[in-house]
Chain A
């Protein structure tokens, strides 16, 4: 069964540094998402992306965050200037069709900001 992959599995960075989290979605999937899970808390929606543009974003997704598909396959989440509170598990998800199709999640990237 096709899988969503994410790199790196763990990223440690200093506060104020930029990080880029990468996701390789399942091929022929068209809808992409990023979610965040702070340790011990629930999974929270960050942003959805379709047709090379953001379709929806949460209040968490402020100007420090950006997403893109630079080469048509990888889907990236960039945090420009990391803060301590950005430490979390970041999950990429994607689905083939709109509406009720299932979202498939990657294994996550654990981001630690020191």
Chain B
């Protein structure tokens, strides 16, 4: 069965600084990988997804993620964080069952 690990529970970055959120997955075949963002009191919004092809995928709001099969990782990055990026970020994998989510990483942005 597939699983997702997000090692960082909470990350704080300064506005304008770069960001990387880690995600490791476990799945025997080629996974389909997603990053979702959840703002307080809101639902889950899809940031980006990887199915195949180019391992660097671009998403909304200036986010990108890189699929690294050798490391079983799908880390999310943003070169310059804005205060509005403060939210909970979830990595998810879709294999032979519906989406399996990680526990999430809460991002705080300070001035």
- A: residues with CB less than 8 A from B are 4, 6, 33, 35, 41-45, 48, 56, 91, 93, 100, 102-108
Contact = CB atoms under 8 A, between A and B. Distances in A.
Nearest to B49: A102
A107 B43 contact: yes
Contact of B101 (A6, A43, A48, A107): A43
Q: Which size class do B's interface residues fall under?
A: 20 to 34
A56 B97 contact: yes
Contact of A108 (B36, B43, B100): B43
Interface of B: 32, 34, 36, 42-46, 49, 51, 90, 92, 94, 97-104
A10 B4 CA distance: 29
Given A42-B101, A42-B104, A105 B90 contact: no
B10 to A, nearest CB: 12
